[in-house]
A and B are shown apart, each in its own frame.
Chain A
Amino acid sequence: MPRRGWVLPSYYWALLALLYLPILVLLLFAFNDSPILVFPLRGFTLQWFRELFATEALMRSLRNSIVVAAGSSMVATALATAGAIAFVRFEFRGKGLFMTVALLPLYVPFVVLGVALLLWLSTIGVPRSLLTIAAAHTVVGFPYALLILIARLVGFDRHLEEAAMNLGANYWQTLRRVVLPLIAPAIFAGWLTAFTVSFDEFAIANMVVGREPTLPVYLYSQLRMTARLPRVIAMAALIMAITLTIFFALVWLRRRVFSGGRAMRAIRPGPAGLG
């Protein structure tokens, strides 16, 4: 029975305000006419946005991050799909061990993972580069993608596979033409999660970075240089604006195209109605 209380709603909105406040305050400085981030504010300017696009190192690090995130998330999702199918459909003795190792990145502090990888790369003589960051991020994104896919496959009707094979398809064709298309939304969700994790990841990237930085690594190096900060904040403002736009576009698209949100529910196979 719905209660018309005011406590909980006020709490939610107050917390939300508190969450956004530091960000909004920070974003003020994207338009502030001063290179240092101190109050009082000095005046409105768009120069930081102009400088942002002119800063080659910043744009290059952004591009690096996108490439690394896209690459590592693709590999992570591909591996996770194969691993999830194996885990759900087959029985084998190492199942528990596989799961434990696969989920290890969730339980190991990133600083430990970072130094372990640093040590490893140094021992086998592989120089640090964007590739090493991507390899590290694949490991980090893998458990997320794996769990999403396992959850999806558990609810997947086995009979569909059997039917396809009865009709003459071999196992791999069945996978490719029946299973994969039907779990595609979950694959996409896994990929998106792994992408997000990689894009903003700093702790490990900082330790296995080579000559080319990713965006967080570049940001960190700039955080100590006051004159460069406003354009970095300008970029944060832009990223936020772009993401919000994409999100609202997706929401609008979903309402228009997918009636009842059935297809989107496949993305989050957990509690229906929250998605």
Chain B
Amino acid sequence: MPRQSRGRLWALIAAPSLWLVLFLVLPLLLLAAYSFRAGVGGALFRDWTPTLEQYRILFATPAFLRLLVMSAGIALVVAVLATLLAYPVAYYLVFRIRERAGVYIVLLMIPFWISYLLRVMAWKVILGEGGAVNSLLLSLGLIHEPISALFYSRLAVIVTLVYVWTPFVALPIIATLYRIDRALLEAASSLGATPRQRFWRVTLPLSLPGVIAGAVMVFIPTVGEYVTPSLVGGSSGAMYGNIIFDFFGRSANWPLGAALAVVMLLLTLALVGATSRISRVERFIG
């Protein structure tokens, strides 16, 4: 590369790279390094002799591992449900509404402009003991006592997360469906395919990589969720992220918390790596 170009490249790439290193790479590396620390707590990074003690504790505690699997399970359920709910909407907007879809999409997105926290708390108003569902059922005489399992439970966590994510995951599905070459669909029709066959044999398979990418985009943040479980999960709705958060907050066992965080990070990165062969998530932004 000519010297002139190299200078320009450096001028452009230096600032973003430095920022990323300073605020992303180094913190994550520090987190990983901290997980190899034996000491119980405190903020000082001194007297560090690497040890696998925290990982030993982690893997010797079935409760933590099972919770990780359970959290991944919850994330999977949420991702699948949200994707299933969003797909028909996306299909409708791309193939029926077409050019006018803009307004329809915005209508879908407007709830996002309310704080995520309030949207979560809205479910307390609906599912809680004094909430809409229970009040309705009580006044209709269908139940005599409010159903407490609707709220402060794992069910509440799943319902709330599906609610929050469904409009969001519609976007990548819309983008994917839009990119399907119409010529292929026309070819299928002219070869005698019924609309139903056309959907199941052409549209759906072609859209699948993008749909999976959208589901992955829901799955990853949900595995590490701690906010929703803390608001609506109650005693039994805790997820893996809550345990990590606790170890960095109240319990002040940062090394163990770091080890838990590293394990989850490796899991999510492995998943992204595995699915990136099928689909590329970053296609959908921009």
Contacts and interface: CB of A to CB of B under 8 A. Distances in A.
Contact of A122 (B43, B123, B174): B43
A90 B13 CA distance: 10
Contact of A26 (B96, B121, B130): B121
A126 to B, nearest CB: 11
B286 A269 contact: yes
A117 B261 CA distance: 12
Given A9-B96, A115-B31, A171 B244 contact: no
A103 interface: yes
A240 B117 contact: no
Contact of A120 (B4, B9, B30): B30
Given A11-B89, A102-B20, A109 B224 contact: yes
Contacts of A104: 24, 28
Given A90-B9, A148-B285, A223 B121 contact: yes
A20 B103 CA distance: 16
Interface in B28-44: 28, 30-31, 34, 43
B220 interface: yes
B101 to A, nearest CB: 6
B178 interface: yes
A85 B5 CA distance: 12
Interface residues of A, number: 95
A12 B85 CA distance: 10
A202 B117 contact: yes
Contact of B175 (A37, A80, A142, A270): A270
B122 A22 contact: yes
Nearest to B44: A123
A148 B125 CA distance: 38
Nearest to B17: A98
Interface in A146-202: 147-152, 171, 196, 200, 202
B116 A202 contact: yes
Given A90-B9, A112-B244, A122-B43, A19 B111 contact: yes
A139 B121 contact: no
A171 B8 contact: yes
A140 to B, nearest CB: 9
Contacts of B106: 247
Interface string A211-240: 000011001100100000100110010011
Given A39-B131, A223-B121, A273-B98, 5 more contacts: A15-B166, A21-B126, A29-B125, A123-B45, A219-B115
Q: Which 7 A-B pairs have the closest CB atoms?
A: A109-B224, A38-B130, A151-B286, A22-B122, A120-B27, A148-B286, A83-B16
Interface of B: 1, 4-5, 8-9, 12-13, 15-17, 19-20, 23-28, 30-31, 34, 43, 45, 85, 88-89, 91-93, 96, 98-99, 101-108, 110-119, 121-126, 128, 130-132, 135, 163, 166-167, 174-175, 178-179, 195, 217, 220-221, 223-227, 231, 241, 244-245, 248, 254, 257-258, 261, 264-265, 268-269, 272, 281-282, 285-286
